[in-house]
Chain A
C-alpha cells in the first residue's frame, strides 16, 4: 500500500501543533488564574502592612522589602564582576585552553542546582566568613548564582559591537582600555542592561539559595542592617503554602501574584529595552 506523504505530513504537523499547545496553553492559564484569584487580595494594606495572625492576615510588606534588598545586593556584587568577566572574554581572551575552561566553568555555574548554591552560601558566607544568616550572605549567594546570566548576556552585547568601531578608535591613537571604555561599552549598554535585569528577575524568584542563608520564617519588622535576617517573597509563598495551615487561599494567590508581577515586570522591561535597541541599531 502506498502511503500518501501529504497525509502523513498533515498528521505529523497536527501532533506537533498539539504538543505546542500543550506547553503554551497551561502557561497562559497559570498566569490568568493567578491574576484572577490574586487580584482580590491586593490592596494598599496587603502591600504595606506586616503579616498578622500567624501570616493569615495583614500584608506582605517585609517580604517585598526583603526581596528588594536581596536583589539589589546581588546585583551590586554580580554586575561589576560579571561585566569585567564579559569584557575579558570579548576583548582580551584568545581562543586557547584557558578560554575554553572559562566557558565550561560558566556553563557549569549556570547548571549547578539552586539548592547547591544554598549549601555553598551556608558553608562559605554563613559559617566560614561568619556573616550569619543575613541579607549579606543571601545577596552574595544569589550574586554567584546570577553571574553566568550576566556574563553571557553582557558578552553577547559587547561582541555585537562591530569590530570596525574598535579599529577606528585604535587608528585615532586610543589605547585598548580607552577604546573599550569610550567606544565598546557605551554601544553595548542596552544589551548589558537587558542581562542585568534578567539576572535581577532570576534572583527575585529563587527560593532554594536563600533558604539557609537569609530567609526568616516570620519577621514582623524590617531588617535594620545587612547583617539581619529578612523575609523574602518566594520563601514567604513557600511558607504560607506548605508550612502554615488554614491560610486563606486569597492570601496565597495574592502573594504569588505580587511575586509573579515583580519577576514578569523585570522580564518585560528587559524585552522592551532589547526591542528598542534593535530598532535603533544602525549597523
Chain B
C-alpha cells in the first residue's frame, strides 16, 4: 500500500517535470511581457519599432529601436552570407567525401568550436579580427558590422554543419546507390540527388544558424563597436538588439522607462527566436 502511494507520488512528479519546459517557455514570455509592455504607456509600439533614434537616457528619452533592429539584421545578413555556403560545403565534405579517420577528427574540431564560450571568441576577435579588418579595409576603427558578421559566421558553423550533416546522413542510401549505378559521378550524385533530398533539413540548419546569430550577445557586443546609429554600410560600427540589452541593463533603474524598453527589446528577440525555431522544427519533421 505504502509502495503504491510512493509510486503514485513519483509518477505525478515525473509528469509535472515533463511539463516543466512548456511551463518555463510560457513563464519567460509572461515575464518579458509583464516588464516590457509597460514601455508602451509612453511610446506607441509603432514608434518604438520604427523610431530612428535610441537615446534612452536623454530627457525626454527617445526610444526608437529601428537602428538596433537594422544593426542586428545587417550583422545577421552578413554572417548568413558567409556561413551558409561554407557551412553546407563543410557538412557535405564531412559526410560524403572525407575518409573515415579524418571525418572523426573534423567532427571533433567542429564540436570543439561549439564548446568555446562566446566571451572567449569575443576576446580573440578583439585582439585579432578587429585590427585585421581595420588594416585590410583602411578604416578608422575595426569595430564594424563586418567584423561582427565574420565572427558570428564562425560561431554559427557548428549549428549549420552538424544539422546539415544529419540531414545528409538521413537521406536513404538507396538514393545514392541508384544515382551511382546510373553512372553519375560522386559530385553529380551529391549535387543532383543528395542535396535536393536533404534540402528541408539543410534549410532547417540554415534557420537555426541564423537563430544562433541573432541571439548571440557577448562576442557581438565586444567587436561591433556598439554605436546605436542607423547603419549605412557594413564598414561602420553598429549595435545589435542583444548587445543593447547586455550593455545597458546594468545602468537602467528597475521599474524605469529604460528598464521597460530593454524588456520590450527582449520581447522582440523572443518572438524572433520563437518564429525561427518553430519554422525550423517544421522543416526538420516535415516528412515524418
Residues of A within 8 A of B (CB): 5-6, 8-9, 12-13, 15-17, 19-20, 22-24, 26-28, 30-31, 33-34, 80-82, 84-85, 87-89, 92-93, 101-102, 104-120, 122-124, 127-128, 144, 147-148, 151, 175-177, 201, 204-208, 211-212, 234-235, 237-238, 241-242, 249, 252, 256, 259-260, 263-264, 267
Interface string of B75-91 (1 = CB under 8 A from A): 00000000001110110
The contact of A116 among B15, B20, B270, by CB within 8 Å, is B270
B263 partner residues in chain A, CB cutoff 8 A: 119, 123
A81 close to B28 (CB less than 8 A): no
A175 close to B20 (CB less than 8 A): no
Interface string of B182-211 (1 = CB under 8 A from A): 000111101100000000000000001001
With A5-B188, A116-B28, A175-B7 as contacts: A237 and B93 at CB distance below 8 Å: no
B110 close to A23 (CB less than 8 A): yes
A267 close to B111 (CB less than 8 A): yes
Pick 9 A–B contacts, CB within 8 A, sort by A. Answer: A8-B187, A92-B11, A109-B24, A112-B215, A118-B246, A119-B245, A119-B249, A120-B266, A147-B21
Q: How far is the CA of A241 from the CA of B249 in the complex (A)?
A: 19
Question: Main SS of chain B's interface residues?
Answer: helix
Closest chain B residue to A9 by CB distance?
Answer: B187
B35 in the interface (beta carbon within 8 A): yes
B117 in the interface (beta carbon within 8 A): yes
Q: How far is the CA of A148 from the CA of B277 in the complex (A)?
A: 14
**Size bin of chain B's contact surface:** 35 or more
18 additional A-B pairs beyond A13-B97, A22-B90, beta carbons within 8 Å, are A9-B185, A15-B89, A19-B90, A28-B109, A85-B14, A105-B21, A107-B278, A108-B278, A109-B25, A113-B214, A120-B31, A127-B254, A205-B118, A234-B119, A237-B123, A238-B123, A238-B222, A267-B115
CB A192 to nearest CB in B, in angstroms, measures 14
A205 partner residues in chain B, CB cutoff 8 A: 115-120
User: Which of A12, A114, A151, A206 has the largest count of B CB atoms less than 10 A from its CB?
Assistant: A12
Q: How far is the CA of A212 from the CA of B35 in the complex (A)?
A: 15
User: Which of A33, A124, A249 has the largest count of B CB atoms less than 10 A from its CB?
Assistant: A124
A148 close to B21 (CB less than 8 A): yes
Q: How far is the CA of A207 from the CA of B270 in the complex (A)?
A: 18
B89 partner residues in chain A, CB cutoff 8 A: 15-16, 19-20
Closest chain A residue to B111 by CB distance?
Answer: A267
